[in-house]
């Protein structure tokens, strides 16, 4: 974690939250015809982004939630605040910790949705407790591995929609300024043989759970950048992308990763909740949940310039140097190849969707 990069990240968050007001989402010309999926839509940033979508006239909102009862309560709240018809919202069960649930969800999307214009993969977690879910540490499973499983399984549906409507579907994965200060020791310290990155991160004896959420956002950035490069290159490795560049008219799916910045959220508030210092920091610096959701809404309507990009304050921003430098490029490729191998174990042939 280079010192200058970390300092830039910390300063950026403070200045952004104190002096930058994100623009209130405005009506989008295509939104009234669109179908958009929001995972984790019953609370926090997912709920507030859903509210903006409904307020601005989205045709169909799919609330993908782990608990349908909580989803129903959130739906009632959204309908009351936006005065939309109940048929505008559908609640679909989705447990991001369960690969079978993701597979079932994506099969339903392929069968039941005439079009799919955006996916906000908002569901995620922050924990300092090491547990294993679906053969991997829980944060990696939910925030990274299964998020990309959802994306790759939905790619045929997203592509079919783009070909039908001419409007490229957006797949949006929230990020965090914490990626600037993510501890990289778990990735860089010497390991025996040719140990995989994921195997290293799945080792409870060596896991740094205090920095695991931030590190998961580094992996998301590498994943988004590599996936976008391979989509642009027709499934080729990122090193071949410049040979196969297409214009914006050829883009079928836009993948980006916006940072809502430090904002009020239920994320990470486990157990007895945050301490006094964290509560004071939240009161002094944190954006409201609604304002943070504006960044996620922007990701859902951002143009082709956002392909594979990290977005902050509703515009493209260069991420930390350990994302873009030679180390980052090498690790990006290594991580994505490992990720695809894991996804192939879950769903054989899924990598051919790229």
Could you read off the pLDDT of 16-51 as tens digits, one per residue?
A: 767 688 999 998 888 999 999 999 999 999 999 999
Distance CA 319, CA 20 (A): 18
CA quadruple 353, 242, 215, 53: dihedral positive or negative? negative
Q: What is the mean pLDDT of residues 106-115?
A: 98
Q: What is the mean pLDDT of residues 106-124?
A: 98
Residue 42 is encoded by which pair of tokens? 């019953």
Residue 99 is encoded by which pair of tokens? 């690969």
pLDDT confidence of residue 6 = 62
Active-site residue, selected from the candidate residues 60, 75, 180, 213: 213
Phi-psi map region of 38: left, alpha, beta (phi>0 left; psi -120 to 50 alpha)? beta
Distance CA 217, CA 222 (A): 9
In this prediction the pTM is 0.91
pLDDT confidence of residue 186 = 86
**Is pLDDT of 144 > 90?**
yes
Cα-based torsion angle of the residue sequence 269, 271, 276, 279 in order, rounded to the nearest 10 degrees: 10
Catalytic residue flag (residue 245): no
**Is pLDDT of 203 > 60?**
yes
Do the beta carbons of residue 145 and residue 199 sit within 8 Å?
no
Confidence band of 279 (pLDDT split at 50, 70, 90):
low
Active-site residue, selected from the candidate residues 60, 75, 180, 217: 217
Phi-psi map region of 46: left, alpha, beta (phi>0 left; psi -120 to 50 alpha)? alpha
pLDDT confidence of residue 286 = 85
Residue 98 is encoded by which pair of tokens? 């369960």
State the average pLDDT for the chain: 89
Confidence band of 234 (pLDDT split at 50, 70, 90):
low
SS3 state at 317: coil
The residue among 243 and 144 whose pLDDT is bigger is 144
Percent of the chain with pLDDT over 90: 77
Q: Which residues contact 75 (CB under 8 A, 6 or more apart)?
A: 63, 86, 89, 91
Segment (H or E) for 258: strand 253-259
The DSSP symbol for 41 reads: T
Distance CA 40, CA 38 (A): 6
Do the beta carbons of residue 134 and residue 146 sit within 8 Å?
yes
pLDDT in tens, 155-171: 999 999 999 999 999 99
Q: For each of the domains in the chain, give its residue range(s) and CATH number, in order of start.
A: 3-238+251-348 (3.40.50.720)
pLDDT in tens, 171-200: 999 999 999 999 998 887 655 556 789 999
Catalytic residue flag (residue 167): no
Cα-based torsion angle of the residue sequence 266, 180, 312, 44 in order, rounded to the nearest 10 degrees: -10
**Is pLDDT of 283 > 70?**
no
Q: Which residues contact 193 (CB under 8 A, 6 or more apart)?
A: none
């Amino acid at each position: 974690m280079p010192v200058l990069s970390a300092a830039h990240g910390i300063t950026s968050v403070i200045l952004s939250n104190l002096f930058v007001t994100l623009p209130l989402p405005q009506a989008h010309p295509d939104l009234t015809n669109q179908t958009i999926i929001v995972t984790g839509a019953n609370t926090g940033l997912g709920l507030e982004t859903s509210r903006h979508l409904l307020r601005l006239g989205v045709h169909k909102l799919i609330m993908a939630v782990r608990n349908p009862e909580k989803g129903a309560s959130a739906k009632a709240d959204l309908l009351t605040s936006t005065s939309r018809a109940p048929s505008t919202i559908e609640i679909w069960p989705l447990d991001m910790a369960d690969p079978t649930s993701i597979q079932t969800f994506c099969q339903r999307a392929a069968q039941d949705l005439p079009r799919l214009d955006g996916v906000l993969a908002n569901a995620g977690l922050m924990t300092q407790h090491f547990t294993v879910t679906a053969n991997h540490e829980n944060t990696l499973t939910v925030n990274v591995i299964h998020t990309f499983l959802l994306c790759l399984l939905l790619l045929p549906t997203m592509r079919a929609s783009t070909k039908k409507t001419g409007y490229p579907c957006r797949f949006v994965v929230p990020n965090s300024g914490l990626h600037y200060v993510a501890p990289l020791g778990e990735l860089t310290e010497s390991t025996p043989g040719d140990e995989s990155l994921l195997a290293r991160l799945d080792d409870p004896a060596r896991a740094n759970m205090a920095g695991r959420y931030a590190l998961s956002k580094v992996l998301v950035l590498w994943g988004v950048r590599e996936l976008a490069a391979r989509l642009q290159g027709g499934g080729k490795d990122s090193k071949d992308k410049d040979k196969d560049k297409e214009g914006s008219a050829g883009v079928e799916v836009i993948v980006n990763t916006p940072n809502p910045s430090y904002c009020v959220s239920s994320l990470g508030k486990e157990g007895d909740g945050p301490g006094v210092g964290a509560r004071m920091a939240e009161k002094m610096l944190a954006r409201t949940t609604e304002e943070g959701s504006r960044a996620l809404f922007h990701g859902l309507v951002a143009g082709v310039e956002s392909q594979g990009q990290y977005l902050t304050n509703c515009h493209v921003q260069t991420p930390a140097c350990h994302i873009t430098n030679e180390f980052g490029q090498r690790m990006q490729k290594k991580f994505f190849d490992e990720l695809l191998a894991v996804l192939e174990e879950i769903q054989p042939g899924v990598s051919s969707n790229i």
